[in-house]
Every structure is written in C-alpha cells, then in structure tokens.
Structure 1
Amino acid sequence: MQDAEIAWWPSDAVRRDANWTNFVAQCGLPDYGALAARASSEPEWYWRALSRWLGFRFRQTPNRMLDLADGVAHPRWCLGGTANLYDTAVGATLDLAPDRAAVIWEGEEGDTRSWTYADLDREAGHLAAGLARLGLEAGDVVGFYLPMLPETMAAFMACLRLGCVTLPLFSGFGGDAVAQRLAMSDATVVLTVDGTRRRGQDVAMKPVLDEALRGNGRVRHIVVLDHRGLPTPMTAPRDVWWHAVATPTEQVPPPRELPAEHTALVMYTSGTTGRPKGAVHTHCGLGMKLGQDARLTLDMKAGDRLLWPTDFGWFGGTVTILGSLLAGATLVIAEGAPTWPEPDRLPRLIAKHRVTHFGTAPTLARMLRRDAGTMLERHDLSSIRAIPSSGEAWDRETWLWVMQRVGGGRAPILNFSGGTEMCAIVASNILFPQKPCSFNGAVPGTGGDIVDPSGRSVAPGEVGELVMREACIGTTRGLWRDEARYIESYWTQIPGMWVQGDLASRDADGFWFLHGRSDDTMKVAGKRIGPTEIEEVLLASGTVTEAAAVGVPDPVTGSAVVCVAVAAPGQPGDDAQGSRLADAVAAALGKSFRPSRVLFVADLPKTRSMKVMRRLVRATLTGQAAGDLSSLVNPEAVRDLARHV
C-alpha cells in the first residue's frame, strides 16, 4: 500500500471501538477478511450470526436462514421464521432507553420538535389503532405522500405493526406520478399532509393528491395531517383528519406476528424508459440488511445522531429512518431545502444538534463547498465522527474538501454504492485506511465484484460492471407484480450475477473506485470512458462548480463528448472559458476526449436526492424523448439547457 496516497488512517482507539471489531470477535474470527471469506463460503452461517449480533427479534426462530434450491435469483430467506420489524426497530431501544430521542425535527423557520422512543411508540400505536378501525389489514398497501416529519416515522412504524405494505411517494411528485404509482400498487389508503414548507413558501400537497385520485375507485380513505394550517379541501367520508384517526386509546393493537418474509415496503424506482419498477422488501430483509449497513458499515451506535437530507419518497428516507432506529440512534430531520434560508443551514444543524453522522452526496457536497464554504468557521462541527456518502462518484477536489473542512481530517467519508433494489449497500468503506474517492471493497454477504462482460473479475486498473455474485438478504424479492421484468432488469446481462448498473475499478492496493452509471458510459473513437473522469478535470480547474459530461452522436467518432457546466462565481461562462476547459480535458485524458462543446447553465437537472440526471442532459441535447421525469426536482434547469440546443 502506498502510504502517501492514504488520506485517512483509523487510530487504534477507532479500530478497537468499531462495531466491526465487536462482530468479528463475537464470531470468533481473527479479522474482517476472515469474516468476509466465511460469509461467502457459509452464507447461512453468516446471516444467522449477523441476526444474533444485530439482536434481530424473531418470534419464531427460522429453521433455515437461506435456501438456494431455486437459484441465486430466487433465494428463500428465514424459512419457518416469524417476526415483526417493529419489535427490533422500536421495541429493542424502548426496552433499554425509552427516554432517548428517536427523532429531532427542525423546520425552515427554526421551529423544532423532539420525540423519544416512548413518544414514537405511543404515536405509532395510536395511529395503528386508528388505521385498524378504518379496516386496514395485513397486506393492504398504504401510500405515503408525506414530507420528512416525525409523523412520517410514526406512520411507517404503524404500518409495520399492522403488517401493512408501505408505499412511499416523493413529496414533490405531481398528480400524474402519484396516480400512476397508486394505481400500480392497488393502494387502499393514503396518508398525506395539508402542505409542506420549501424555500420559504408553503407548498400545498392535499390538492395534488385529490387530482391524482380522480377516477381511482380503490382508495377508500385519505388521512390528512394538519401540518401547516393551510385551507384544505376534504371530501367526506373518504377524507379524514389524522388527529381524528390517531386518537389516544388504551386498545392499541400489539405488533402483529408475521411470516419473517412478509412484505413491508414497495418502493418504486424510476427508469429511463417504461413504467417505474416496484422493488419489494420484507420485514427480515429490511431489518437485517439495513441493520448491517447502519451498524457494521456506517458504525452507528446507540445514542448517535444522523442527519442526512432526503425524502421518504426515495429509498434514502427508509434508510435514514430504519437505519437510525435499528442502531438505537437519533434521526435529525431538516424539512425543506438543505440550503434555505441560509446556505449554511446544514452545518448549523450539525452544530446545534451535535450530529455524529452527516450523510451527503457528491453533488450536495459541491453545492455546500460553493455556497457555504466560507461560512463553516461559524459552526462547531467537532461532533461529526463519520460522513456517509452515496449516490454518485466523487471528484478528488470535493472529496478532500469534505474530509478536511467538514470532517476536520478526523472523520472518515464512508463512501458506498448501493440502490433501492438491493436495500442499500453492495460496496463500501468501513473504518479502514482510505484513499481519496475510494471504497474498501464489497460488503460481506453480497459477493460484490467488478467484472467484464463475460463475468470475469477485471484486473487492477480496468473498469468493469459492479455486480453481486451471491444472494443477499436485502435484495428485492422481485418487482411488484412483474416477475419477467425483474429477471430482465437485473439477471440477464451477465447470467448468474446481479448487475448493479454502476461502473467501478480496483487499484493494485485493492481500493475500489466508482466511475458512474454504466448507461452513462461514452465510447469515443473506439475508446470507452466514464463521465466522472472528464467531470473531475473540469472541477479541478476551479472555474466551475458543477459539471456533467455526456456522449452525443458524431458521424466521425461515433460519439462526441459534450459538457454542461455551472460557472464558478466570478467566471464568465463564455466560449473562451469553454475552450480552456476543453483544452484541459484533452491535456489530461487525450485529444480523443476533447469536448466538442462546453455549455454553461445556471443549474444541472437533479433528482431530489441530489443526483445529476445525465441521461436527461443527453436527451435534451439530442432531442430524444426525456423518459420518466417524476424524480426531476428542478425542471427549469431542463428549459435553460434546451435554449442551448
């Protein structure tokens, strides 16, 4: 290992106190490598050992943890076991520390609320009782058209108690996107609010839901939370107020005993074409995998505090809520925009609430660096001991800035790659030495690897597909009512392997690096390159704050590189600057990859989870169909870009 390239080393104290150290010792193994090896050679042993270490509460212990008789694409989990995820997510900490904060919420205007685990249990119980009186039963689908609130967490836990299936819907969706998902899932009840607050403005949500439900005869009830005090149209008897449903009562139904593989969540993920795909997750799958991710990978401990801007309509909402609860930690929620009313809102919240785990993504980090970089000194960020990160590949300059300026050089960036369909993490960092932008490798129990199109592991320095070779308990049990699409989407590209859709590589020291989505790859004059390599050169110039590189058809080279960038403050954003940036790419990567154009815009199209939508940039530049736009948070960015075409 080349020590000069290592940007962070764990101290002896960090290693000694790490959760992974405790787990390895409990398993009687010498080190983490031995744990990963045994997880691959004896998967049933691994998942049973993990369940014991996590304290996952089965009502009936499974006869077997894993049966692969039907192949790796159709594993059977926790056979004969019964459980209710509520018992572990809330019940475990409720028994030990009922007065510990489960959630701290803060609005854009600075108003705060805090619920203990006892408060959360009470609120979830009352809502569960009310939903049961409305006729909800195990297996019924409940739509969540809610922003991130303490009540959102209570509602999620109430559905787990009853055995209902939670259907998260992005709080920024329009009527068509909501209508499509409610119809595809056959939801019978929807939980919503009068409105939410974003960038200083009240945004009504109930009218959007009313529009979405025109012609939908299956939804029997809408339960409406009076959050902002907005005038709210109510249609009796379908519409009922939250406070009238969740009335205090002593007749609270206990968490229902369910088959461990009972469906807990259907999460729709958008594709570039076609209908959204509904990933199916179960009580034992969510509890075991998110417990592993939060505690083993992100090293969250009882009493820690997690702040990670997200929405319950994305899987990040599920990860933050369940991950914090399964660790016995506290979730800090910032409703509204992460940079409003001041660009340093997030650093202020970190300092105010003594956040230990600050979750981010490269795009969000670049925004903070640009808009709040000079404001960090105002805030005491010493409580941070880890910085989880996901969503995109990092550029080196931003990674180093976050490590030094946000983490103070002491807090590692726990970089990971995962997704909605496999319940978070395939490859990640753990509390091991780190190179800039790197991963330490595959998470135990996934069989994560980097392979060529034939399925062979690539050599150091080569770029390949990130895959899973093994059945993982967190992987979706299929797509909701669409088995053929499940196989086609994930298991046919390289037979026998789950293809994640991300490009990655490993170096000679064993560090892994992400290179972006495989469908974003460009092939220029016969040479393949990922967008991240080009974007990193642009960002390293210091003259742009965001960049997206895409390939467009070219009659000579087959594909030409076009870059779209946001000029840094004080930069002209003109043709001369674009030419200098194109020259820098050619000097760094070769003349073949010199961008044919560099266009400047005010913002790049992004999802609410702060991922740059490169395929939408490409479609706009080439005049192609835009595909599914339900996850787009800033449509004005597309209109701005279209003016350049």
Structure 2
Amino acid sequence: MIVPPSMKYKAVSTAEYLAFWKTTTGDLSSLVRFWESWAEKLKWHEKWRSPFDGRRWFAGGKLNASVNVLDKHRGTFVWEKAGLIFETEEGDVHVYTYSQLHMLTEKVAAKLRALRVGPGDYVLIYAPPLPETLAVAWAAARVGAPFEWVFTGWGFWFLSLRIRAVRPKVIITTDAFPRRGRPVAVKANVDKAVEASGIETKVALIPRMGIDVEKKPWDVHFFDVSDTGEGGPVFVEADHPLFALPATEAEGSEGTVVHETGGYLTQTYATTLWIGLRPRDTYFCTVLPGWITGITYVLFGPFMVGSTVVVYEGGPDYPHWDRWWSILERYAVTVFLTTPGALRLLSRSSKVEEYNLDMLRLVLTTAEPMEEELWWWTYKNATGQSFVYDYDPKSGGGRVPVIHFYITREVGTFLAGNLPNLAFAPIKPGTSGLPFPGFAIDSLDNGASVRNKPGRLVLKMPWPGMPLESHRWVGGVFYLGDIGIIDDDMYIRVLGRDDEVLKVNGYRISPGDIRKALEAVGIKAEVYGRSDPLKFQVPVVKAGSPPEEVKKVVRSYVGPIADPEVVQ
C-alpha cells in the first residue's frame, strides 16, 4: 500500500478509516444523521420536515440547484474570482467569473421562460460543453425544469430514443463543433432525431462555428428569443427532478434514470469536498457532462465548492497528443480528473516529462477499472517531479496521490475511493479504494456477503441521491450492476459489469441499442463485447452483411463511440 509523500502527515490507517466509516453505516439512523449533517450545509429556502421517510430524502424541504451552484457565492471572495476557464480547440480562451456566470445563467433563464419552459418541463441539451450550454443546465434548474444532457458522440437514432423518453419542451443544440480541425455537424443530427421521434418540440440553436444549417419548422435562434422579464429562482421540493440520464441496460437505452434535487446536491457537495476540491483549486476534468461524472464533477460539484473549473472542448490529440498536459501546465491545474482509458492512450502517445506539473496535488480517475501497471505509470510519470524517492524508496517514486474512484449513474456520485480532504487511508493500486462514508457497500454471492472472491456489488442501505427509478432494489439491497472483489481490508476491486452492458473507453454502451439500430435497417445481428488492452472492452457484431455497411449504420444511428471493433 502507498502513502504518497504529499499525504504523509495527513494519512490515517485503514483500520482507523473503517472505524469512522462504520459510524456512518452501522444502522439506518446513523446513516440518516450523517447525511442530514451534510444537507444542512446547502442553501435551503425551506427546511425539510423529515430527513428520510423511508423513500424520500428531506421531504418538505425546498431549494434551487442554481442558487447552490452560483448565488451562494455572492458576497464572498469567490464571487469575483475565475469560475470557468473555457478553451476552444483552436486555442481561444474565455474566462468567466462567478458573477459573470450568474449573469449569463439569468440571461439564459429569461430565454427559457420566453419559450414557456417551467417547472416539470424537460430541457434536452445536445451540444458540447460551451459556457452557454453549461448556463442552459443551470438556467433550467433555475426555472424548475429538469434537463437531460445527451453526449454528442451518440447518433441520431439514439438521440430520438431520449427525445421520446423525456419529451422535452425544447432541445438546445449548436450548429457544429470542431474536432481535429474539422467541423462536426450537430444540428443535422437533431433534425433527423426529431423527425424519427415523432415528438413535437422546439429546437433552439446556439451558434458555435457559424456554419449554415437547414431551417426547420421547429427551429428558434436561442439568443433572438425575446425576454419575458426577470424572474427569480423557482424553489422546488427536494424530490423534484433535477436531471435525467439514459438507463442503458443490456436490452437498450429507452429507460431513464432521474435524480432528485435535494438528496443529489447533498451527496454531490459532500463528495466533491471529500475528493479534494477547494475554492482555491484550479480543476480540469476531461469527462463531459453527457456522462454522470461530467454532470456531477463538472457541472455541479466544483462550482458548489467555488473552484476554478477548466473546460476544454476538444480531444486529447489535437494538434498533438500533449494537449491535456499543456493545459495542466498553462493553467497551473491543481486537481486533474480523467479516465484510465485516456491515460492508457497518453502513456503510449504523449511526452508528459516535457511539462511542468508541479502544481498538481491530486490526479483522479474514474469510469472503467484501472489496472496496477497503469496506476504505477501515472504515479511515477504524471504527478510532477518527486525528489523524495532518493531517500524514501517506499514512496514508490511518485509525489501526489493517484486515486481511482468508483461511480455509477444510478448512485449519482463517487461511492468508493481514497479521500484526501476527509480521512486519507493508504492507496492500494489496482483498486477503487475504500467505501465512502454513508455508503453501505457489500459484495454478495448467492445472497451471502463474501470477501476475497468475486461477488455482485450492492448497497445495503439508502443514499440521498437515489434515483426516482429504483428497480434494482431486490431483497432489501440495491444491485449496482457490477462484479467486484472486496478484500479483508475492504478495498474494492471492480472487475466489470454483471450484465451484458459494455464499458468502452469508460462509455457505457448497450448491445441492445446496436442490435436494434441494425434491425431498423433490416440487418439481423448478434452483439457482444470482448476485452481490449486499451479500451477495456470493444463491441463485436456478428451479422450477415458487409462490415462497411454494418459499421456505417452503427456510427450513424447509435454513434461513433459504439463503432464495432470487429464485424463477423
């Protein structure tokens, strides 16, 4: 086990950490008291009647998510500090203070009101994370409207599923975004998806590249919409829907995971602090808001804490594979969150040693499992220069923690890992660390708790960010959807899914979606996954059609991220 030099005087033993964890998960009343203490740190318009009534958290409480992201900082030093550093693929940089982000969000909220978006109406975002689209999500919450952010790597057919699922009052999109120097059309995908869905909605355009788009009857130019006057934030019940994500089960992605406002924000604020973010941090996360990590740890958590957040719209390889390292150096980033899949590529293609990363104090990873070999490469090469190794070989050659976290979209936040801002236990490379406080994690085999052997990972008690759809509660436990090993020290090693859902480069992809998309054009196919040294898993399609035709359909209908590695 490893205690990095930077954490030498902050670390506790594993036994000490577990003793603390057990005080928060020993019984339901202890767990509820623990989470209630964190809920009290949010900005509430009305306090709850009951912290937990058997299903709902903080029933009777009222709050607004955008107030807890932006307004809360008014009157503090955070208000006029940089909140967002946005870098385009072309290299242009736009900096917004928290007060400017607040003004932008209020402006966008006025546009949404003009489009008659109100409490309960869904706003669907199919666009890259521009400053304006981040503001759309906050503005939707400001007017009481839940949102769903669909990753632009999904194709038109997948997008049509999500339009049918949430029936949005308005879809926010853009004309195109750059990728490796070329425009990727976005609006055209939206038009095809709206037609395929059969749902009546509006499409509001936020221009990014200024390319011509085909005009459709449902189109409105977002910033040309007349304002309807200012309106304050809408304070909603704690169990009011905040955002949705596709369920992405083995059979398809028609289902929806909806997170409620009060419990989710409580959990998000707490875990963001625990994993190390503070107001004076500069933070760069490479996971986009179309995924749960990007929503929780880009859109909400860091801004709730008051950090400076770096958002880069491009990939890691343009104009060179060192783009991310240059961002870390240029903005003196202190906390970096990425995926093992990205680090595998960077370890083979980039020259991290040419960049000064000495400001980094935390390197965080999530999504698919992280093997020991990759952890050691990251620790020794991507954490800045270490001089400790010369006289302390036990440090392993690294300087600051490399921490791998476990997350699922149903839980809503990280639920396991090492916690540099709470109680830091030693790191065991190749694992997702220890259970977070307030999360009663266990591993079951045939219903019995097991250690040191594979089992199905479960939560044995409720948690504040429980989604509205909790169909995975079986026999009093919630099945997380993963197979893992919990050892005698309670370190968790996630092995993979307990169903047929694929983890491709950290993306959760349903074989059923690929199969149904091919069936839509008359191609019958079998779809399954196989392991891959770079991407963890890749899709394999067995069909009686030409591989080029199969791949073209999958890329167009489901999206490039589902492109089959092999067509048989």
TM interval, short-chain normalised: 0.7 to 0.9
Match of 2:256 among 278, 300, 303: 278
Name the structure 2 match of 1:427.
416
Which AA in structure 1 matches 2:382? V
1:299 — aligned with what?
276
Contact 2:24–2:30 (8 Å) recurs in 1: no
- Does 2:290 align with 1:313? yes
User: Is 1:184 equivalent to 2:184 in the alignment?
Assistant: no
Q: Distance in 2 between matches of 1:245 and 1:425?
A: 39
In the alignment, structure 1 segments of 5+ residues that lack a partner are: 17-23, 69-74, 479-485, 522-529, 533-560, 567-603, 605-610
**Displacement after TM superposition at 1:458 (Å):** 0.8
Which range moved further: 261-270 or 344-353?
261-270
Q: CA deviation at 1:310?
A: 2.3
Confirm or deny: 8 A CA contact 1:39 1:45 kept in the other structure.
no
Aligned equivalents of 1:122, 1:515: Cα separation in 2: 45
Separation (CA, whole Å) in 2 of partners of 1:141 and 1:227: 23
- 2:361 is matched with 385
Which of 197, 212, 225 in structure 1 is aligned with 2:206? 225
- Give the match for residue 457 of structure 1: 449
In the alignment, is the contact (CA less than 8 A) between 1:162 and 1:256 conserved in 2? yes
Partner of 2:388: none
2:509 corresponds to which residue? none
Residue in 1 aligned with 2:47?
A: 61
Q: Distance in 1 between matches of 2:464 and 2:151?
A: 26
Gaps of at least 5 residues in structure 2 are 385-397, 505-527
Please point out which of 480, 483, 495 is paired with 1:503.
Answer: 483
Counterpart residue number, 2:467: 476
Query: Quick one: structure 1 residues 564 and 33, their matched pair in 2 at CA, closer, same or farther if it must change by over 3 Å?
Result: closer
- How far apart are 1:437 and its partner, in Å? 1.6
2-side partners of 1:383 and 1:109: how far apart?
Answer: 25
* TM-score, scaled relative to structure 1: 0.74
Is 1:8–1:435's contact at 8 Å kept on the other side of the alignment? no
1:159 shift after superposition: 0.4
Larger of the two Rg values belongs to structure? 1
Task: From the superposition, tell whether residues 385 and 32 of structure 1 become closer, same or farther in structure 2 (CA, over 3 Å).
Answer: farther
Rounded Cα–Cα distance in structure 1 between residues aligned with 2:445 and 2:544: 29
Alignment of 1:31-180 (within 5 A): 32-33=20-21, 35-37=23-25, 40-52=28-40, 55-68=41-54, 75-96=55-76, 97-180=78-161
Aligned positions of 1:419-568 closer than 5 A: 419-430=408-419, 431-454=424-447, 456-459=448-451, 461-478=452-469, 486-487=470-471, 490-492=472-474, 495-519=475-499
Normalized against structure 2, the TM-score is what? 0.84
1:125, 1:158 within 8 Å by CA — same for their partners in 2?
A: yes
Q: Deviations over 1:439-481 (max 9, x none)?
A: 3321222211122121x2213x212111100101112111xxx
Distance in 1 between residues matched to 2:544 and 2:38, nearest whole Å = 49
Q: Is the 8 A contact 1:270 1:628 kept in 2?
A: no
Query: Could you tell me how far apart the structure 1 residues matched to 2:554 and 2:473 are?
Result: 23
The answer for the alignment partner of 2:4 in structure 1 is: 8
1:127 Cα deviation from its structure 2 partner? 1.0
Match of 1:598 in 2: none
What does residue 552 of structure 1 align with? none
Shift of 1:212: 1.4
Deviation at 1:40, TM superposition (A): 5.0
Deviations 1:83-123 (A, max 9, x none): 11111111122331211222111111111111111111101
Q: Distance in 2 between matches of 1:43 and 1:233?
A: 54
SS at match of 1:358: strand
- Please show how residues 235-254 of structure 1 align to structure 2 within 5 Å: 235=216, 238-245=218-225, 251-254=229-232
SS in 1 for 2:259: strand
Q: Which amino acid aligns with 1:389?
A: T
Q: Which amino acid aligns with 1:180?
A: L
Partner of 2:344: 366
**Secondary structure, counterpart of 2:75 in structure 1:** helix
* Equivalent residue number for residue 594 of structure 1: none
1:415 aligns with 2:404: yes
Corresponding residue number in structure 1 for 2:375: 399
In the alignment, the residues of structure 1 paired with residue 35 and residue 45 of structure 2 have an alpha-carbon distance, to the nearest angstrom, of: 17
Greater relative contact order: 1 or 2 (C-alpha under 8 angstroms, separation 6 or more)?
Answer: 2
Q: Sort the Cα spacing of 1:442 and 1:388 in 2 relative to 1 into closer, same or farther, 3 A.
A: same
CA shift for structure 1 position 217: 6.1
Q: Secondary structure at the match of 1:441?
A: coil
Q: Deviations over 1:519-559 (max 9, x none)?
A: 369xxxxxxxx999xxxxxxxxxxxxxxxxxxxxxxxxxxx
Q: Percent identity of the aligned residues?
A: 24
1:205 equivalent in alignment to 2:130: no
Residue 295 to residue 467, structure 1, CA distance change in 2 (3 Å): same
Q: Which residue of 1 aligns with 2:319?
A: 341
Rounded Cα–Cα distance in structure 2 between residues aligned with 1:565 and 1:15: 35
Alpha-carbon spacing, 1:628–1:59, altered in 2? closer, same or farther (3 Å): farther
SS of residue matched to 1:276: coil
Letter of the 1:129 counterpart: A
User: Structure 1, residues 69-95: CA drift from partner, whole Å, max 9, x if none?
Assistant: xxxxxx111111111111111112233
- 8 Å Cα contact 1:291/1:323 also seen in 2: yes
Contact 2:503 2:536 in 1 (8 A): no
How many angstroms apart in 2 are the aligned matches of 1:476 and 1:628?
Answer: 30
Q: What secondary structure, in the 3-state scheme, does the structure 1 residue paired with 2:80 have?
A: coil
Runs of 4+ in 1 over 6 A off after TM superposition: 561-564, 625-631
1:554 maps to none
Question: How many equivalent pairs are there?
Answer: 517
CA shift, 1:382, in A, is 1.3
**Matches of 2:378 and 2:542, distance apart in 1:** 32
Q: Is the 8 A contact 1:403 1:412 kept in 2?
A: yes
Letter in structure 2 aligned against 1:87: V
User: Which of 554, 560, 563 is the equivalent residue of 1:633?
Assistant: 560
Distance in 1 (CA, whole Å) between partners of 2:5 and 2:354 is: 27
- Check conservation: 1:445, 1:471, Cα contact below 8 A: no
User: Against the structure 1 CA distance between its residues 30 and 104, is the aligned structure 2 distance closer, same or farther, given a 3 Å change threshold?
Assistant: same
Work out the CA distance in 2 between the residues paired with 1:37 and 1:215.
47
Q: Answer whether contact 1:148 1:333 (CA < 8 A) is retained.
A: yes
Structure 1 CA distance, aligned partners of 2:67 and 2:363? 28
- One-letter code aligned to 2:483: L
The Cα of 1:304 is off from its aligned counterpart by 1.4
Q: C-alpha displacement at 1:381, in angstroms?
A: 0.9
Instruction: Tell me how far apart the structure 2 counterparts of residues 628 and 424 of structure 1 sit (CA, whole Å).
Output: 30
| TM-superposed deviation, 1:221 | 2.1
- Residues 194-253 of structure 1: per-residue CA shift (max 9 Å, x gap): 1111121101111111111126564442211111111122335x3222221386x9x421
1:64 maps to amino acid: S
